[in-house]
Structure 1
């Protein structure tokens, strides 16, 4: 009974921390936080289901005389992850862009990550990021959307794995806190099971698009590790957010491009 309560509290903490979905209150004790990372990918499942639902509704709306509202629904799809998460990962992406663009020492880059002010490079990166997403989502098909819906779970599974496997850049902070209080072996094993299942499920659902999605995620994850180690000496919460945002955009881009090329008959 105690273990079930502990798991339930970890679930509530994960959704309270990484989403804006209302949750019952729970004490943020070390014990209650221990399995929180196991439920981090579940937030991706919520985002994926909402995104797929909105996309299918947009198709239904257009077929039944709703007019040409493609841009409106494209923007809604792009903003769903921001609304669900409250922009916590996007904030990390922007802070990281400022830090990387500073060309300072590791110590100074870590200080920039904690700076609450947005620099010029953060604003430029944010603009480019959303423009890229508009371009990618304007080319969506039902098939590519099915794969992209699953990609939100994959990105969070890999991000969670980085928390419990990569070195920590700081001894204090969100990632260090969750990593220290995690039942590391159980969390790592759970996330690895998620990863294995997703590496089979996504290609099964998406075929060549799904394969492209998994490969893209792996490439970004490898870049993420090298970047964090060389520039920051480990991971932080902001860097995890950076990875998640970049990974989701790259996966979506690859899926859409492969889908378009496959339909052109160039590849099977």
Structure 2
């Protein structure tokens, strides 16, 4: 039952999908981070449905790209983009680590957050217009959404925290760490196998991009903020998906044209 409650809590926290609301108790959040990749799988299903509709109705590249850009935000409610905005504000401040952590907690949106999120969405949209869609594309994109959440969850559980008392601290303290890490490790291996079996070149490029983003997150979080936070996990998720999409399109352009 703990797994089921954690599954529901994960969707309640990390998506806007209608699910039962459970109390924020440790037993309901024990495996929540381990269930996080399932949210990515559902995002992938929505994206697959949009690609199918786009093909069936003959949508142009711009309308198809708009759906690819906005659907993940609609399904998640923008919770990870919120972390991206807060982190962008903090990084742009060039302040000491303590001040950066204060900026992460500030509910106000700064100019650099607005600039960063607009630039992010424009770039994601532009990349999506260049995407060469095939029968394998939904599988690759679905694995991308699962992999980003798998690595985000692992970073929360394994990277040293910055000492704050935010949501990350709550999730981490409530988690059954060894079991959650083991489940996420299985997700990671399944994503690797799925990407490589679906398309060796595209899959390898996407995996490489994700790994590089994890390394960047590790060193950036430690140097700039003194450790991990929930906002940094959201920042990584958005950055990782953008980089994986870019890597996918780059290989399509270089290898298959």
TM-score range, shorter chain: over 0.9
1:125 alignment counterpart: 116
Contact 1:144 1:259 in 2 (8 A): no
1:180 alignment counterpart: 173
Q: TM-score, normalised by structure 1?
A: 0.92
How many Å apart are 1:151 and its aligned residue?
0.2
Contact 1:95 1:122 in 2 (8 A): yes
Q: How does 1:74-153 map to 2 (within 5 A)?
A: 74-140=65-131, 141-142=133-134, 143-153=136-146
* CA distance in 1 between partners of 2:139 and 2:4 (Å): 29
Contact 1:212 1:254 in 2 (8 A): yes
Choose from 157, 167, 173 the match for 1:164: 157
The 3-state SS of whatever aligns with 2:256 is helix
Per-residue CA deviations over 1:172-227 (Å, capped at 9, x if unaligned) read 11111111110000001110111112111111112200110111100111001100
2:210 alignment counterpart: 217
1:35 alignment counterpart: 31
* CA distance in 2 between partners of 1:263 and 1:216 (Å): 19
Contact 2:162 2:226 in 1 (8 A): yes
* CA distance in 2 between partners of 1:139 and 1:149 (Å): 18
Per-residue CA deviations over 1:15-67 (Å, capped at 9, x if unaligned) read 100111111122221111101111100000001111122112211211xxxxx
Q: How many residues align?
A: 255
Q: Is it true that 1:20 corresponds to 2:16 in the alignment?
A: yes
1:252 alignment counterpart: 245
* CA distance in 1 between partners of 2:217 and 2:137 (Å): 25
C-alpha RMSD of matched pairs (Å)? 1.2
How many Å apart are 1:145 and its aligned residue?
4.4
Q: Is it true that 1:205 corresponds to 2:198 in the alignment?
A: yes
Q: Is it true that 1:52 corresponds to 2:30 in the alignment?
A: no
Q: Is it true that 1:8 corresponds to 2:4 in the alignment?
A: yes
2:184 alignment counterpart: 191
* CA distance in 2 between partners of 1:10 and 1:126 (Å): 30
Greater Rg, structure 1 or structure 2?
Answer: 1
